[in-house]
Structure 1
Amino acid sequence: MDMISEVIGTVRAGNAYARRITESGSWGARYPSFAGVGFHLVLGGTGWLVLRGGESIALHPGDVVLVPYGTEHGLSHTPCALGTLPVASMGPEPPRPGPSDFEFLCGAYRLDNGKVHQFLRALPDVIAISPDYDRHPQLRSLAALLGDDVSEPRPGDEATRSALVDLTLVHALRHWQEQSGDEAWPRITDPGIAAALRAIHDAPDGRWTVQRLSEIAGMSRTTFVRRFTDLLGKPPATYLTGWRLTLGARLLRETSAPLAAIARQVGYSTEFAFANAFRREYGVSPGRFRQNMRVAAASR
């Protein structure tokens, strides 16, 4: 099991956003910090990525800016101090008509009631990537699809937007891993731990215990807990709970299934037990979380 698939599975608990933005003349915007993961993909023109601490990085067509856990940053026509830039408007505004000096796609998963995956938090706070499009042309195709998807409202927008933002994030992370080396993004190469993870992901409603998972891994309970914690950063029982609640959050966002049905699907015997665990993890009740997601989706 690889960590890119792991983290993409967790961010789907939030709402996906994307828009195309055009700028001309003297322009600049500061993107405040937020809970989630986002990206900018440069379609045309040149500009500058502005970071905290005063550093600025030149951006060219095809470049991708990846923000793994929502760190504040800016984009501008010239190098500058981040604090001098006005706060970006994040509403669903259409791009300005006519020719532009700089054009880019902005996409994100916002996790206002969730937590950014620990492996995303282990990455640099802002990453500038220059993909090799000759070797990997898929990102160019994704940019065209996402640009078309945000050009006007259409039936099925919520499904297509999530899928395209997912794919863009996956390819951006792949390119960064390729440019940084395999050690930059951990992989679960231990076959026993990988087998236990597959079991959890394939059947989150299973009657899992640490002992049962250690048997699937082919290890003693003590060895399994130690290796699992070393590789995943948390004990097996904590990981299992987190994954069940992440899946529950996705079902609350994506479906209208009753709370009791979702509770059973993710391994809780009662709606009450699921609701209590969910509130501890996300800080709100499942019903409030679903309502918040619907309000956020309607305001995109």
Structure 2
Amino acid sequence: MDVISEAIGSVRAGRANGRRINESGAWGVRFPGFEGIGFHIVLRGQGWLVAEATEPVALRTGDIVVAPNGAEHGLCHAPARLRDLPAVTTTAEPCDPPQADFAFLCGAYRLDRGQIHPFLRTMPNIIVVSPDYDDHPELRSLVGLLEDDVAEARPGNRVTRSALVDLMLVHVLRQWQGTADWAAVTDPAIAAALRAIHGRPQHRWTVPELAKVAGMSRTAFSSRFTALAGKPPITYLTHWRLAYGARLLRQTKDPLATIARQVGYSTEFAFAGAFRREYGVAPGRYRDRPDPIPRQPRAAPHRQRPLAKP
């Protein structure tokens, strides 16, 4: 099972955002928590990553900070308390000056509610990856493309932004050393059930059917699935269907009835009712809503060593 593809696919229900930020002198900025996944790429200079209940982490040019589940964090010129940093401004601003002591790119997928893939939830709230760009020249090229994409508004930005954020997240998650540690994927029986759910969300899955796919008894399967995936099988199935439906609402113009069938609901009314209970808004309004609803989780950073050359 390709857990990275599944995880990135789950956040595509949100909207991809990106921007460049330049700072000079004594500076600091706080990124409030949100539902989704985000990252920062240090383009120039040295700074510090700060988060609650953890020591500050030094950053240098080329480092990539990732918040896999949208945890609150801050960046600043020197170690500081997170609560003392001003919140980042997300409204339209004049272009930042081209030269600065510290420059970084931001990218994120923001979701309306808690539909983060379980793999992303099991990752540390904040990680820092220090890639070897000589060994991975494609990553250097990707950073350049993203920097160019956020430089100005152009026709097609919505498509290019999503593609570039996708690629950046895939590269970073590949390089993070803990990528293969999601227990639900490394367990062959549960991985088989997850492949069945993800591959055929429209099927009327039952626990006995999924247990059969996993080659286990119903009781043993339910217990192990819940322990490893974090939700009972049918709860996980429902969340996956609705997350997939949310993605189709944002990425396609398909009628509601068509989307309902694709994600396993017999009628658009059944899908709309379930969607409203999960997302707090009707599917049609969700499709048109531009801005997600933020939240405020806590963060604890995890640092990966730079990749060694072979």
TM-score by length of 1: 0.88
**Partners of 2:184 and 2:225 within 8 A in 1:** no
Unaligned runs of 5+ in 2: 293-310
Structure of greater relative contact order (alpha carbons < 8 Å, 6+ residues apart): 2
Structure 2 vs 1, CA of residues 41 and 143 (structure 1 numbering), >3 Å: closer, same or farther? Answer: same
Select which of 179, 184, 188 maps to 2:185: 188
Deviation, structure 1 residue 181: 7.8
Q: Which moved more, 1:7-16 or 1:188-197?
A: 188-197
Q: Please give the secondary structure, in 2, of the residue aligned with 1:33.
A: coil
CA positional deviation for 1:45: 1.3
How many angstroms apart in 2 are the aligned matches of 1:200 and 1:260?
A: 21
Residue identity opposite 1:4 in structure 2: I
Q: Percent identity of the aligned residues?
A: 63
Contact 1:13 1:253 in 2 (8 A): yes
**Unaligned runs of at least 5 residues, structure 1:** none
Provide, for residues 183-213 of structure 1, a one-character-per-residue CA deviation record: whole Å limited to 9, x for no partner: 4x44613333333322222221123222222
Alpha-carbon separation, structure 1, partners of 2:10 and 2:243: 6
In the other structure, the counterpart of 1:73 is 73
Partner residue in 2 for 1:88? 88
> Hey, what does 1:147 align to over in structure 2?
147
Between the aligned partners of 1:66 and 1:129, the Cα distance in structure 2 is 8
Which sits farther off after the overlay, 261-270 or 53-62?
53-62
What is the CA-CA distance between 1:110 and the residue it aligns to?
1.0
Partner amino acid for 2:209? Answer: R
Alpha carbons 1:13, 1:114 under 8 Å: kept = no
Q: What letter corresponds to residue 260 of structure 1 in structure 2? A: A
Other-structure match for 1:127: 127
Q: Is the 8 A contact 1:113 1:289 kept in 2?
A: no
Worse overlay, 100-109 or 212-221: 212-221
Aligned counterparts, 1:77-116, within 5 A: 77-93=77-93, 95-116=95-116
- 1:54 and 1:267 map into 2 onto residues whose CA distance is 43
The whole-number CA distance in structure 1 between the counterparts of 2:7 and 2:139 is 19
- Quick one: structure 1 residues 17 and 92, their matched pair in 2 at CA, closer, same or farther if it must change by over 3 Å? farther
Contact between 1:3 and 1:186, CA under 8 Å: does it hold in 2?
Answer: no
User: Structure 1 counterpart of 2:281, which letter?
Assistant: V
1:17: which partner in 2?
17
Aligned to 1:41: 41
- The TM-score with structure 2 as length reference comes to 0.86
In the alignment, which residue of structure 2 is the partner of 1:256? 253
Amino acid at match of 1:154: R
CA displacement, residues 249-289 of structure 1 (integer Å, 9 cap, x when unaligned): 00111122211111111110011111111112112221221
Letter in 2 for 1:237: I
Distance 2:227 2:56 in 1: 36
User: CA distance change for structure 1 residues 57 and 6 in 2, over 3 Å: closer, same or farther?
Assistant: same
The alignment status of 1:230 with 2:223, answered yes or no, reads no
The alignment covers a number of residue pairs equal to 292
